[in-house]
Structure 1
Amino acid sequence: MTSRADGNLWRASSAVHVEAPPLRADADADLVIIGGGFTGNAAALEAARRGASVIVLEAESVGHGGSGRNVGLVNAGLWLPPNDVVAQMGKEAGQKLIGLLADAPRLVWSLIERENIGCEATPNGTLHLAHSAAGLRNLEERHRQGVELGAPVQLLDAAETARRTGSRAFYGSLFDPRAGTIQPLSYARGLVCAAIRAGARLHEQTAVSRVERVGDHWQVMANGHTVRAGSLLLATNAYFNGIDIAVRPQFVAVNYCQFATAPMPKPLRAEILSGGEGCWDTALVMSSFRTDREGRMILGGIGDAGGRGAAVHAGWARRKLRQVYPQLAGLTFEYSWHGRIAMTSDHIPKIVRLGPSAYACFGYSGRGIGPGTVFGTRVAASLLDGCENGLPVAPVDNHRERLTAVRAVYYESGAVLVHALTGA
């Protein structure tokens, strides 16, 4: 496998660039945001456009975490079917979240258009692929639930799925025309560039060491300096790095790896995902498929491509590509990268109160783009307005997850085992 740049296709191909200096002096703001990903950058943009003074502190570079390692699927809703969301949250709260996230792609597309973000936006829908007969039955039920809620989803048979994907490996699919794909790192960078144009300040290479409430404001210590702010948003998601803070986000970290081929020949580009849809399958250890603007096939799956099972995951990717797209068997993988997903036990995102006028948002369970944009935008409004009614989920004073390290090992071990045995 050839390796380019740092191995991450999105870093190599991003058309949006942003550079910001580290924090080098004490500062004051209305809102301080920790984390330069989808959630933090969407919050910064909303707050800055409302006239607030905003400071974003990013430990590495914008999009360094899950936002810049994402598959790039702009999905409507959560990974859970709607009825499961209602069962977890109750009817009123569940339907509120379902409605907001059903509209998440529209928000993403509108921000991209309004701020002229060059992120390969392709609002051509997504295909949830049935990997087996049981998977097709799952999609039939998801289709039924979606139609009941007024979602414009369409159940496609195996022949139509084969026509759209260019593969006969699937039993059918669920098409969602609201959704689509983007270059995720460019989107994350584009959001913060728009926030900067609106007056926000960004500091990269600024790792926060301590957060505390002092009197009527928050103090955030980083690089030996202090940022004082009336409001605080912790938006590190799965990349929380041990900040000294009274309430810490709890989640299970799950790795997801991706492999991108060389660009496909033009005849194959006209045959494989020619409509530009993004795809993922119904397997318990799921796989994803999409193309980029250059016609690369990007194959993803659960697993840590930089860990002890790296060789297993890479071998699986080569076999899986041959299985699903035998016409691409001769293409080499040019890029390989991985990132962390923050999972919660119930697969529902969380908003945790850190204290007065302060929240942490996390736990999108692999759906970072739409939910991250919605949560960031609405949390910013809530912090500035002092009203929680518009939040996507009711905030809690704490959220606990049990055996997080053990469960993380379990997920990775399961992915290694499945990838060792499948995709042949």
Structure 2
Amino acid sequence: MRNDKTNKNLWTHSASPAPETSALAGDTTCQVAVIGGGFTGLSTALHLAEAGVDCVVLEANRIGFGGSGRNVGLVNAGMWMRPDDIIETVGETVGGRLVSELGDGPSYVFDLIEKHAIQCEAVQNGTLHLAVGESGVREVETRAAQWQRRGAPVEALSAAKAAELTGAAGFAGALLDRRAGTVQPLGYAHGLARAALAAGARIATGTAVTEARRDGESIVLRTARGEVRADKLVIASNAYSGVVPSMNWSAHRNELVPMYYFQFATAPLPAEVASRILPQGHGCWDTGMVMTSFRTDQAGRLIYGSIGSLDALGRIAHEPFARRAIRKLFPFVGKVDFDFWWDGQIGMTANNLPSFHQPEKNVWSIAGYSGRGISPGTVFGKALAQVTMGNADAMMLPVTDTGSDNLRAAKSAFYDIGAAAKHFIDHRLG
């Protein structure tokens, strides 16, 4: 994983402050240890602490360092796959439950935000899945029909309506999902951490696990400045999982294909300009072969993103592409300058659904949100807390064996190089 030297992350700049935490100092014990201070780990800790369970979160860097502090901030319903495809992949029993519980996920996220007064620029006014060409229209209409059969408040929109709600011409239609919304994602992570601490959880930041071992029934996690002895362990580090020597609890790293997603953010736009872009506050993404997204924030910045990393070569292609794309979408914006730019890793799985493992007794792990981290991470965190308390039925995913993908590096490079090549070409004419 690259460091942050090539990143200037808007979310780090504008998030509500993180609660005060520090590195682990000395040895301690707990009932449940959680590795990873992102949405899943923090949701797990919050729900454990609210149930009176003593838990410790170990975060190698800072709260929300990984995908939780780098994503677009779309609180979407369901997973990346269409509902019918999920059921076809994992069966009616598991798939139907996934579709139902994750379909309700945004409501749960926004309920938590209200309950804990989390300051994260929350707007629950729906998201737009924008259709690119006729194939895009077929895609959003299919998704709309599948969700409507399940009673969801979604609607397929015309090109004219898509233009009205985005302020941009050129999209052939859209899917409006009124369950969904947007947040400042790092602010949401900070708020979950603050709520978990208030409920009694402990969070150690700057505390990487360097070794893990069994000692009888206990699980012992070694760090640079102390050990944590726990009865149970949840691994929730997703695409930012490292390798922990001594025990094979880092195997998600071997089955996830990492895909980078970048974003650029403008300075706050003049009010008369900002009001013409997404006037109802929707966040959006499109059906393009190489997906793009755009949204605004509370200060009136325009945030534009797509697949690719901002390493030295990637930025040569992606930054000019982002400028050209914004000029094409919103010519009234004028000259485009970027104040912020950042990227992050998405953990992709073979079937685009998360994988849930129990590598041994009292150890559980989940990873692979394939670009849908906020709502599923929160919901799965709640389920993981209940699993550790003995309610195995709380998790809607089945336990599966850990796999591996020997082509993961090649696939990751294909995503990165392919996106850069497309962005180098796109919007150069017209």
1:409 matched to 2:410? The reply is: no
Structure 2 partner of 1:369: 374
Tell me which of 385, 400, 403 is aligned to 1:399. 403
Residue pair 1:4, 1:335 contacting (<8 A) in 2 also: no
Tell me which of 246, 256, 262 is aligned to 1:257. 262
Which stretches in structure 2 are left out of the alignment for 5+ residues?
none
Query: Following superposition, which runs of at least 4 residues in structure 1 exceed 4 angstroms of deviation?
Result: 3-6
SS in 1 for 2:313: coil
Q: Distance in 2 between matches of 1:138 and 1:19?
A: 45
Task: Name the TM-score, length of structure 2 as normaliser.
Answer: 0.95
1:300 matched to 2:308? The reply is: no
Which sits farther off after the overlay, 189-198 or 224-233? 224-233
Residue 168 of structure 1, CA deviation? 0.7
Q: Distance in 1 between matches of 2:266 and 2:396?
A: 38
Structure 1 partner of 2:54: 53
Alignment-mate amino acid for residue 53 of structure 1: D
Residue 213 of structure 1, CA deviation? 2.5
Against the structure 1 CA distance between its residues 147 and 402, is the aligned structure 2 distance closer, same or farther, given a 3 Å change threshold? farther
Which sits farther off after the overlay, 41-50 or 147-156? 147-156
Against the structure 1 CA distance between its residues 339 and 307, is the aligned structure 2 distance closer, same or farther, given a 3 Å change threshold? farther
Q: How does 1:2-401 map to 2 (within 5 A)?
A: 7-244=8-245, 245-247=247-249, 248-249=251-252, 250-384=255-389, 386-401=390-405
Alignment-mate amino acid for residue 372 of structure 1: G
Identity of aligned residues (%): 42
Which stretches in structure 1 are left out of the alignment for 5+ residues?
none
Q: Deviations over 1:245-268 (max 9, x none)?
A: 313112000000000011121112
Residue 13 of structure 1, CA deviation? 0.4
SS in 1 for 2:47: helix
Q: Deviations over 1:75-97 (max 9, x none)?
A: 00111111111111011111111
Which sits farther off after the overlay, 73-82 or 391-400? 391-400
Residue pair 1:44, 1:56 contacting (<8 A) in 2 also: yes
Q: Distance in 1 between matches of 2:235 and 2:93?
A: 27
Q: Distance in 2 between matches of 1:402 and 1:140?
A: 36
Residue 392 of structure 1, CA deviation? 2.1
Which sits farther off after the overlay, 361-370 or 304-313? 304-313
Against the structure 1 CA distance between its residues 422 and 412, is the aligned structure 2 distance closer, same or farther, given a 3 Å change threshold? same
Against the structure 1 CA distance between its residues 349 and 5, is the aligned structure 2 distance closer, same or farther, given a 3 Å change threshold? closer
Residue 395 of structure 1, CA deviation? 1.4
SS in 2 for 1:208: coil
Residue pair 1:258, 1:299 contacting (<8 A) in 2 also: yes
Against the structure 1 CA distance between its residues 169 and 398, is the aligned structure 2 distance closer, same or farther, given a 3 Å change threshold? same
Residue pair 1:306, 1:338 contacting (<8 A) in 2 also: no
Q: Distance in 2 between matches of 1:139 and 1:25?
A: 54
Residue 5 of structure 1, CA deviation? 11
Q: Deviations over 1:38-69 (max 9, x none)?
A: 00000000000000111011101000111000
Which sits farther off after the overlay, 127-136 or 176-185? 127-136
Q: Distance in 1 between matches of 2:411 and 2:141?
A: 30
SS in 1 for 2:18: coil
Against the structure 1 CA distance between its residues 192 and 5, is the aligned structure 2 distance closer, same or farther, given a 3 Å change threshold? farther
SS in 2 for 1:304: coil
Task: Name the TM-score, length of structure 1 as normaliser.
Answer: 0.97
Q: How many residues align?
A: 421
Q: Distance in 1 between matches of 2:100 and 2:312?
A: 38
Q: Distance in 2 between matches of 1:326 and 1:87?
A: 43
